[in-house]
Amino acid sequence: MERKLLLATNNPGKVREYRALLQGLPWRLTTPGEEGVAEEPEETGTTFEENALLKARYYAARTGLPTLADDSGLEVDALAGEPGVRSARYAGAEATDEERLRFLLAKLAGVPWERRTARFRCVIALVWPSGREETFQGALEGYVAEGPQGKNGFGYDPVMYLPRWRSTVAQLDLSTKNLVSHRGQAARQVAERLRREPEVVGERA
């Protein structure tokens, strides 16, 4: 029997990725907008895990639905781990993806290639109306390119260069990105958990 699983985001890029990552499961993915929830929680956590749990708890409480939330971002070693949990707000709360990229690249101006190491990190939280909580993590290592390349993806994807693929994340097709990405790694753990415990999850949801 198909059940609803709320994605705690209205970001079309994330929704598209999760629909691909979690396809084949007996869950119908829905969003806060589809459920009539316009409010958003303030992300006050200091770690990806804290923010993911905060968002999942917020929407689970308001909708009564099992809720999946993630918090993810870019950690740049030459910037002492910035932007980290502030990735979406790094250039200001209202900044566009293009403005965030320009801001980041300006901070790295003159930094040599070997010191431009970085990683995408993702934590996914699953919160059930019963109060059950679980978290799953993934990371993708690479380098910050000197300029954006590629039209696929969103956020910092155009500047995250992967030596193994000789391309940025934004140059990968969606199926390859979902295979290697930080979000893909964490989402596969979520999917496996849902497959492994369908009767338990169904009862508690």
d(CA 139, CA 115): 19
53: tokens are: 């749990």
Q: Residue 58 and residue 100: Cα distance in Å, rounded?
A: 27
| Sheet with 3-7: strands ordered across | 27-30, 3-7, 67-76, 117-127, 133-144, 160-162, 167-168
Name the CA dihedral angle for 138, 70, 63, 30, rounded to a multiple of 10 degrees: -80
| 79 DSSP 8-state letter | G
Catalytic residue at 157? no
| Token duo for residue 101 | 């990229």
CB contact at 8 A, 66 and 60: yes
Place of tokens 């403005």: 99
Identify the active-site residue in 71, 97, 157, 173. Answer: 71
- 22 near 82, Cβ under 8 Å? no
Q: Which residues are catalytic?
A: 71
